[in-house]
Amino acid sequence: MSMQEHVATSCPQCNKPAHGDRWATVNVTLNPELREDVLTGKIRTAQCPFCATRFVVNHHFLYHDMERRFIISYQPTESGRSQPIPSAHLALMGALLSHYRLRFVTSWNQLREKIAIFEALLQDYPVEVIKLLLGSEIFDTPKFGNDAIYFLERQTDASGAIELVFQVFEGKKYLTDARSPLVAYQTLARGAEKQFGSPHGLGEWITVNQASLYNSPNFVSRASKQRAQQNALANVCYTIAYKLLPKRLYSEPQKTLLTFTLKGEGASFWYEIGCQARRRQPIEEDRRSFNTFYGRMATDVDSYILEYPSPPPLNILEFQDHLTHPVPSRVDIDTPVLAPYFSGILHRKSDHHLRYCVLGQGIGNRATLRSVGPNGQEAVLGFSPEHSLDAFVGILHSFASGT
């Protein structure tokens, strides 16, 4: 049932007592009218009887959905603890509700997100892994916090494919929406089921957020020799695209551009120095899979393209494992990477202005377009549903007028 309790508080405006009854437990199966009040935050607001100021009252709160069998404990923490410890009362509840998903959250947005996830009939652990993968692309780091990306809803695109939609924030500022295909979620859900049982964490009070991913067991064994071999060429390509090529381009532009005009030899040159940097022995079959192209993109703009060998499909479980359980940073360890498809250079001849970008693997079924600047700084420029040579040339054409 839904229950209220008396909460003693004071008005932040006039500092006078503003005690009153607040909802301690909301059962939305028995009281569905309270669901909207939770989602809007109305349920935790109070009004001062003296100065009429409306303010938020942060207190512990339980959200109970009997139909979908989940309970969420909202536990706001001033200490910054992201993983609350269950009380004896909650522990007893967990013992009695062994078929329930029981979750802690520490912010109201996390509470609303958990409701959205479970009402969409999704599991929260795979959703958090997708957020990790998306956030690593958007923020260029896997450690972006628990309140930067929130699941919003499931949507069906124009082709009929189902996507998971997320909202991305920087602090309190909304940045953008991010999307991931349902198939990526399903892959992760199967991995989580294999690792933890189905579904994850029944009858146990746990916190499932970005911080908790770093305490989870590895999905993939790091001792896999086959896995390292599969990653070797992708790491060579990644090193060329994001480190070696842009560094040489900005320090020695004329010599770098010349390599693209040497048919066959230019592509071989980049593969060779990539292997040297990764301490790998060149393989002739791999060497032949690199290609260079150059041509006139506009009246005053030349284009130069390095095509990399097609990487194997991204193993999402493996990539998540790498982000949350990184191995020591050693050049001879081939960790999974978002491998490049193409590097592109636009050179405006009148003033020798350079623009460098990479089209590489992304999360889901889209490629990610990134720029790399003179100091090695990377920026996400956008996403592409295709990663063919024609598609990349089209992207460079669209940039040519703005180089």
Distances (CA, A) of 122 to 38, 54, 59, 101, 184: 20, 35, 27, 12, 13
- Average pLDDT for residues 129-135, to the nearest whole number? 88
Give the per-residue pLDDT at 263.
77
348 beta partners:
301, 353
Per-residue pLDDT at 65 exceeds 60 = yes
What tokens appear for 295 in the block?
A: 């041509």
Mean pLDDT of the chain: 85
Tell me the whole-structure pTM to 2 decimals: 0.67
Of the candidate ranges 98-112, 170-184, 262-276, 326-340, the one whose mean pLDDT is the lowest? 326-340
Q: 11 is written with which tokens?
A: 């008005």
Residues 41 and 56: beta-carbon distance below 8 Å = yes
- In the structure, what pLDDT confidence band is assigned to residue 290 with cuts at 50, 70 and 90? very high
pLDDT of residue 162 exceeding 50: yes
Separation between Cα atoms, residue 86 and residue 103, nearest integer Å? 10
Q: Which residue has the higher pLDDT, 99 or 402?
A: 99
Q: Which letter does DSSP use for residue 13 in this model?
A: T
Q: How far apart are the C-alpha atoms of 364 and 163, rounded to whole Å?
A: 10
Task: Please choose, from the candidates 68, 70, 54, 57, the residue with its C-alpha nearest in 3D space to the C-alpha of residue 24.
Answer: 57
Judge contact between 14 and 46, C-beta under 8 A.
Answer: no
Only one residue has tokens 């146990």, namely 204
**CA-CA distance, 327 to 209, in Å (whole number)?**
22
> How many other C-beta atoms are found inside a 10 Å radius of the C-beta of residue 307?
18
Instruction: Determine the pLDDT at residue 326.
Output: 58
The structural domains of the chain, with segments of one domain joined by +, span 225-400
Is 122 a residue whose pLDDT tops 70? Answer: yes
Q: What CA–CA distance (Å, rounded) separates 62 from 111? A: 10
174-188, 257-271, 325-339: lowest mean pLDDT where? 325-339
Mean pLDDT over 246-271 rounds to 93
Per-residue pLDDT reduced to its tens digit, 142-151: 788 889 999 9
Residue type, 55: F
Whether 225 shows a pLDDT value over 90: the answer reads no
* Tens digits of residue pLDDT in 16-41: 988 777 888 999 999 999 999 999 99
